[in-house]
Structure 1
Amino acid sequence: MNPVLENWVGALTVIVGTVLVQVNVQAVLLRILAARAPAVADGGLAGRRTLRSLRILSLATVFVLISGHLVQVALWTLLYLALGEFQHIQDAAYFSLASFTTVGAADLELSRSHRVLGALEAGIGMLLFGWSTALLVSLAGRVQAQQADRGE
C-alpha cells in the first residue's frame, strides 16, 4: 500500500476509535454521576458526608477519564506496531504516550514515511484532553451551583 494512503487509513481508523472511546467513557461517567447526583443533591447526605461523596465522585471521574486516555494511547500503540515502526511494545507505548500528551519522545522517532502520525496523535491527544477537561470543569460548575443553591 502507498505509505501516504497507509498513514491516512491508519490514522483515520485510530482517530475514530479514540473518539468512540471518549464518547463511551463520558457516557458511562454521566450515567454514574446522574445516578449518584440525587443522593448528593437532595440533602440525603449531610455536611462532611456530602463533601466526601463529592470528592469520591471527583476522583472516580478523573480516574475513569485517565483510563479512557490510556485506552486511546493503546490504540495508537497498536497502529505503530502494525506498521512495523517499533519492534517492542514498550517503545511503541512510550512513543504513543509521549506523543498523545505532547511531551514528545526525544529518544524515539517514526520513520520518514510515517512521521505525520506522531503529529496527528499529538493534535488528537490535545483535543481529547481538552474534551475531558471541559467535562471536569462543567461538573465542577454544577457542584458549585448546587452548593450555592443550598447556601453552603
Structure 2
Amino acid sequence: MFMVILLSAGILFFTIIIHGLVVTCLYSLCIGAVRNARNLSGIARLCLTYVFVLGFVFAHFFEIVIWAVAYRALGALESMEEAVYFSAVTFATIGYGDVTLSGGWRIGSAIEGVNGILLFGWTTAFLFKVSGTLWFSEDSEDPKAGQR
C-alpha cells in the first residue's frame, strides 16, 4: 500500500507541475491581449476565452492520460482504452463504478480524484479571473464604478 501511495503522490505532483506550466504558458501567450481587453472587440475577447478554455481542456486530457498510462503500465487495468476511461471518470470525480481497480490500487484512484478536484478548481479560479478581466475590464477602469 505504501508503494501505491508513493507512486500516486508522484503522479499527483507531476500533473500539478504540468498544470502550472500550462497556466504559465497560456498567461504568457495572452497577457498582452488580456491587459488591453478594453480595446478588443467582443469576438476577440471570445477568441481569447477559447484559447484559455481549450488550453485547459487539453491540459486536463493530458493529465488524465498520464494517470491512465500509469494504471496500464503497472497492470492495474487490462487495456489502454479502459485505463483512459477509468482515469477520466476518476479524475472528474464522476465515479460510475463500472470499471474498478483491484484492492491494492484503490487508494491510487482516490488520490487521482483529489488531483482532479484540485486541478479543476485551479482551472476554474484562473478562468474566473481571466474572464473578469476580459469581459468586465471597462468597469474596473471606470472611476465612477465604485460609486454605484
TM-score under structure 2 length normalisation: 0.88
Alignment of 1:104-119 (within 5 A): 104-119=95-110
Q: Partner amino acid for 1:11?
A: S
Q: Which residue of 1 aligns with 2:20?
A: 23
Aligned-residue RMSD, C-alpha: 1.7
Q: Is the CA contact 2:9–2:111 (under 8 Å) kept in the aligned structure 1?
A: no
Q: Is the CA contact 1:100–1:126 (under 8 Å) kept in the aligned structure 2?
A: yes
**Is residue 6 of structure 1 aligned with residue 24 of structure 2?**
no
| CA distance in structure 2 between the partners assigned to 1:15 and 1:82 by the alignment | 16
Q: Partner amino acid for 1:69?
A: H
The share of aligned pairs that are identical, in percent, is 25
Q: Is the CA contact 1:94–1:105 (under 8 Å) kept in the aligned structure 2?
A: no
Q: Is the CA contact 2:37–2:134 (under 8 Å) kept in the aligned structure 1?
A: no
Q: Partner amino acid for 2:46?
A: R
Q: Which residue of 2 aligns with 1:35?
A: 32
- Cα distance, 1:13 vs structure 2: 1.4
> What does the per-residue CA deviation read over 1:116-142, in whole Å, with 9 as the maximum and x for residues that have no partner?
111111111011100000001111222
For residue 77 of structure 2, give the secondary structure of its aligned residue in structure 1.
Answer: coil
Relative contact order (alpha carbons < 8 A, sep ≥ 6): 1 or 2 greater? Answer: 2
Q: Partner amino acid for 1:20?
A: I
Consecutive unaligned residues in structure 2, runs of 5 or more: none
User: Which consecutive segments of 4 or more residues in structure 1 shift more than 2 A?
Assistant: 35-41
| CA distance in structure 2 between the partners assigned to 1:137 and 1:83 by the alignment | 37
| CA distance in structure 2 between the partners assigned to 1:69 and 1:11 by the alignment | 17
For residue 132 of structure 2, give the secondary structure of its aligned residue in structure 1.
Answer: helix
Consecutive unaligned residues in structure 1, runs of 5 or more: none
- Cα distance, 1:38 vs structure 2: 5.0
| CA distance in structure 1 between the partners assigned to 2:135 and 2:52 by the alignment | 16
Aligned residue among 42, 49, 52 for 1:58: 49
TM-score under structure 1 length normalisation: 0.86
| CA distance in structure 2 between the partners assigned to 1:82 and 1:105 by the alignment | 23
**Is residue 87 of structure 1 aligned with residue 94 of structure 2?**
no
- Cα distance, 1:144 vs structure 2: 4.0
For residue 102 of structure 1, give the secondary structure of its aligned residue in structure 2.
Answer: coil
Q: Which residue of 1 aligns with 2:60?
A: 69
